[in-house]
Structure 1
């Protein structure tokens, strides 16, 4: 028997590959199927089952394509109603993969169909739990995402989650290895640990949700502090439930090379969004007007989902050469399939034509220190509130990037402000969005708070509620 965790850091997502006696199963596969097929061929095994822990919200699974290409059966837990052929398992139903077995544990709460999969080895011992979004390391699945579909409140779903955990999972042996669907950085939870594998025994000791006094305190603990889910979550659920275009087709369309003239014409004809995925340093020095910068070198896919939101938005790409396929692949993982092509030769080809370019006014942290000395200035910090609360520039406003479409409407265009994040990745996204919306009177700080903290700019952990909560006037 072999268990392999296939972890994708930019999505904080874990898929699982299980092999026994010539047969294999894959749990929660990513959108692109070729890596799995190559692995199956290398190991000379037949894929028997594709297990889905639930209808995922934060990424599009590869279950449909993988089933078509391999003939493997898709398996969901009880109550799931996919719009394609699948086995809807009963609670406690057993599936055999070679000499090992997978037992279905229906564990609703995160969603109604959510299920965990218990692996039983060749000797009949319960060895591992693939817990999906029911149990994370350090956390549990958020119970607010399925409210509309379940016709229940988040508190009612949290109550179901409590029952699932305390009746189905906690009674299992302490030695069982827990393999969750997500790790730290995923928006499917709020307090995940950085590790991606742990024992159930250690989770019983360290997971706040498993150490509540009773059901009431559990419900309160897991529903507190939940931020609104990204807008694209519902669209990804629909794709996972209804099916989607083949990834191969999406990739083929997205890898359509366009000259600068064709690129410009396509933008105008389709109303396409220009997505520039170069690093923030290069983008600041020059970009195609109206482009949005989301760097491929960071948490690319989740930020695309959070900031663009509509998976049906036509997109044109500006990338570094040889990054086109990687970009299309990452976009498809979160359901952005309407990629019309990319700029052949990248931004360099655009610049050579003499076409209009735009820039972001960026200064160093030292320049920032010099410019604000003895002055009353406005500073916008686009990090998460938790980062701001830990430490921030004195009198800065906390305006997280995720909510830019709300707070930028309260900016006074005539008032200059400084903009920063932790290191420049998020503030350049904010800068590109602001400039695309007509805001020009600001300065972005290279290196962000990490660089500012190395200067003599006054830093504080004092929380001024007015600064955190009020709109910028």
Structure 2
């Protein structure tokens, strides 16, 4: 058996393809299934089964479309109401995939009906377990996605689910989680790139702490999660439509001008420093890099048309692929090329980019204010003395709380700060983007710790 990993780093997730003797089983596929089909084709296999560990809250699944495209059996845990008819599995069921099989283990916690799949070879030996949002590398899936009234009971269920996996599976069984690689579905940051049951027994809080200690630690550590999660479960339960990865309709400067004037979302995908050096007034900076889709999805108002600006068509196509993974299918158009060629659309604007060393030289100026757009738990751990903390996802509603004067905005690396800077610039504020790692603030003596 061969297990292939398909990374979706922008969302912090993994999908898996298991092949053996020309047969393939796919676990938790993302919506852009062409990546899965390419792996299966490379392995010279045919897909017999597509499995879901749970109804996902952080991305739109490609499972339904993949099963239809390949003729494979679509397997979903029993319990959730669905708008389609897959094979529903319960605890103890076995999925026979010819030279391999997968045993269903009910592992509630991340969701109520969540299951894991124990991978067994033809001789019945367990080689690994696909744990979805249950057992992660050094962590577990978060337990608050179904609402606060369920969080405590799901947290206790999560503890017991992880203990069950450790009790029932061999120590050398590989652990294959879906979440935990930067995903907000992880209760705490995951550690490492591979693991086994034995390794988790030595390090995972669910396996090293008492149940009460685990519950208290997980609940205390939960932070906000992206607002687009509210849409994902509904889309996945109803049945996602086929994906469209084609290039959106081209938009010229006149079209951009109309959309900006109408208050629509016009998003610039270029690097944050390039945006600061020159951009169209009324546009927002969402650099197309690792965190793009998470934060655009968190802030974007889905009721408003979305238009993209990119350096070239490839950048637009890559952004569209990212967006469909969270169900943002309707891109109203795209403009490409040098930003100066689009300058007829709106007045060009700029703002300064600096680092923490520069802030240290100017922070004594009473007209300078520091805005920290990290999460509240990050701010509580350590922050720049005198900084105001408004998490990025709250900024559009709380921007009026900021004091008058120049605003120096930072986060942990510069990415979230660049989005915040563009929001404030669009509101006419005098803004400076701190494009720097937060550790640099401590080195120049700016932090409270």
- TM-score (normalised: structure 2): 0.92
Provide the rounded CA distance (Å) in 2 between the counterparts of 1:450 and 1:223: 27
Residues 1:444 and 2:433 aligned together: yes
Tell me by how many angstroms 1:144 deviates: 0.9
User: Could you tell me whether the CA contact under 8 Å between 2:367 and 2:406 is conserved in 1?
Assistant: no
1:344 pairs, out of 336, 339, 356, with 336
Residue in 2 aligned with 1:162? 159
Provide the rounded CA distance (Å) in 2 between the counterparts of 1:162 and 1:363: 45
User: Could you tell me whether the CA contact under 8 Å between 1:20 and 1:97 is conserved in 2?
Assistant: no
Corresponding residue SS for 2:64: helix
Segment of structure 1 superposing worse, 114-123 or 67-76: 67-76
Corresponding residue SS for 2:139: coil
Residues 1:264 and 2:260 aligned together: no
After superposition, the CA RMSD in angstroms is: 2.3
Segment of structure 1 superposing worse, 440-449 or 130-139: 440-449
Provide the rounded CA distance (Å) in 1 between the counterparts of 2:210 and 2:361: 53
Residue in 2 aligned with 1:465? none
Q: Could you give the per-residue CA deviations for residues 111-155 of structure 1, whole angstroms, max 9, x where no partner exists?
A: 11211010011221011010000111111111110238xxx5211
User: Could you tell me whether the CA contact under 8 Å between 2:267 and 2:308 is conserved in 1?
Assistant: yes
Residue in 2 aligned with 1:371? 362
Residue in 2 aligned with 1:190? 187
Residue in 2 aligned with 1:294? 286
Structure 2 unmatched ranges of 5 or more: none
Provide the rounded CA distance (Å) in 1 between the counterparts of 2:17 and 2:291: 24
Tell me by how many angstroms 1:367 deviates: 4.2
Provide the rounded CA distance (Å) in 2 between the counterparts of 1:232 and 1:395: 32
**Change in CA separation of 1:363 and 1:173 when aligned onto 2, cut-off 3 Å:** closer
Q: Could you give the per-residue CA deviations for residues 262-300 of structure 1, whole angstroms, max 9, x where no partner exists?
A: 33335556x531111111101001112221211112311
Residue in 2 aligned with 1:41? 41
**Change in CA separation of 1:359 and 1:389 when aligned onto 2, cut-off 3 Å:** same
Corresponding residue SS for 1:198: coil
Provide the rounded CA distance (Å) in 2 between the counterparts of 1:447 and 1:155: 38
Provide the rounded CA distance (Å) in 1 between the counterparts of 2:215 and 2:57: 22
Provide the rounded CA distance (Å) in 2 between the counterparts of 1:200 and 1:311: 41
Corresponding residue SS for 1:275: strand
Provide the rounded CA distance (Å) in 1 between the counterparts of 2:141 and 2:303: 27
Provide the rounded CA distance (Å) in 1 between the counterparts of 2:289 and 2:15: 22
Q: Could you give the per-residue CA deviations for residues 377-425 of structure 1, whole angstroms, max 9, x where no partner exists?
A: 421222344544554433223333233234423223x333322223322
User: Could you tell me whether the CA contact under 8 Å between 1:311 and 1:335 is conserved in 2?
Assistant: no
Residue in 2 aligned with 1:82? 82
- TM-score (normalised: structure 1): 0.88
Tell me by how many angstroms 1:29 deviates: 0.7
Corresponding residue SS for 2:234: helix
Number of corresponding residues? 448
Tell me by how many angstroms 1:81 deviates: 2.5
Residue in 1 aligned with 2:447? 460
Tell me by how many angstroms 1:187 deviates: 0.6
Tell me by how many angstroms 1:20 deviates: 1.3
Provide the rounded CA distance (Å) in 1 between the counterparts of 2:101 and 2:46: 16
Provide the rounded CA distance (Å) in 2 between the counterparts of 1:207 and 1:182: 15
1:380 pairs, out of 368, 371, 374, with 371
| 1:109-258 equivalent positions in 2, closer than 5 A | 109-147=109-147, 152-214=149-211, 216-248=212-244, 251-252=245-246, 254-258=247-251
**Change in CA separation of 1:366 and 1:200 when aligned onto 2, cut-off 3 Å:** closer
Provide the rounded CA distance (Å) in 2 between the counterparts of 1:354 and 1:367: 33
Residues 1:415 and 2:378 aligned together: no
Provide the rounded CA distance (Å) in 2 between the counterparts of 1:439 and 1:96: 62
Provide the rounded CA distance (Å) in 2 between the counterparts of 1:302 and 1:335: 12
